[in-house]
Amino acid sequence: MRDRLRIIAAILSSPSLWPTAVRVARRLIPVRWWRSRPYLPVPSRAYLRFRLETYYGSETAHFAPEDVLKYLRWVREWG
C-alpha cells in the first residue's frame, strides 16, 4: 500500500504528466471489469506480474515511483 501511495504522490508532484497518467490508467482498465473480482477498474494481477518480471526480472519486485515517472515520460513522447 505504501508503494502505491508513493507512486501516486510522485505523479501528483508532476502535473505535466497528469494527462498521460490518466490515458495510461484508462488503457489498463480491463474490459468489463465489473464482471469479475475485485469489481474495481484495476489491471489484472497477471498483467502486473508480467510487467514486473519484464522490467525488474522478478514478479515479486515492486514498482519504484521513479520508474513509473520514466515510463509516463516515455509514453508521452512515443505514445
Q: For residue 72, what pLDDT is reported? A: 97
Q: For residue 38, what pLDDT is reported? A: 85
Residue, of 65 and 42, whose pLDDT is higher: 65
Reading phi first (left if > 0) and then psi (alpha if -120 to 50, else beta), residue 43 is in beta
Instruction: State pLDDT tens for residues 38-58.
Output: 899 989 889 999 999 999 999
Domain ranges of the chain: 2-78
Instruction: State pLDDT tens for residues 10-35.
Output: 999 999 999 999 999 999 999 999 99
Cα 76 from Cα 4, distance rounded (Å): 21
Cα 75 from Cα 51, distance rounded (Å): 15
Q: Residue 39 CA to chain centroid, in angstroms? A: 18
Q: For residue 77, what pLDDT is reported? A: 96
8 closest CA partner among 45, 18, 74, 16: 18
